[in-house]
Amino acid sequence: MGRQKRQPERTCIVCRKVRPKRELIRIVRTPAGVRIDPTGKMNGRGAYLCPDPACWQLDIVVPKLQRALRVALTPAEKAMIAAYAQALSEKSAAIEEQGSVDVNMNV
């Protein structure tokens, strides 16, 4: 029986839950500004957030991101984060809706 390969883990900067790196969404500070990094491989200082919509509330996430990335977010970057959070919450709602439909179909 061989050794299991370790999965890299990271901590969400909002809820402080430790999860596998691939389950979290990376936000990175680059020379061009703050970007959302879906690949997790962009160069620059990064911070991780859960896909949970509660971790993406702007009044909570902006100060934590500014501290973690050591940068002041511009209004455009805040708008980008807000748009991503909105898309994430819509996706989450759609998944929950599908889950409730599946439950009803099984009954």
Tell me if 42 is assigned to some domain.
Answer: yes
Model pTM score: 0.83
Tell me if 23 is assigned to some domain.
Answer: yes
The one-digit pLDDT tens for each residue of the chain (107 residues) are 678 888 999 999 999 999 999 999 999 999 999 999 989 999 999 999 999 989 999 999 999 999 999 999 999 999 999 999 999 988 877 877 776 544 333 33
Tell me if 1 is assigned to some domain.
Answer: no
Tell me if 29 is assigned to some domain.
Answer: yes
Task: Count up the domains in the chain and report the number.
Answer: 1
Q: Which residues pair with 37 in a beta bridge?
A: 26
Length of the chain: 107
Instruction: Find the domain containing 35 and state its range.
Output: 9-106
The answer to whether 9 touches 24, Cβ cutoff 8 Å, is no
CA distance 32 to 22: 24
pLDDT of residue 1: 62
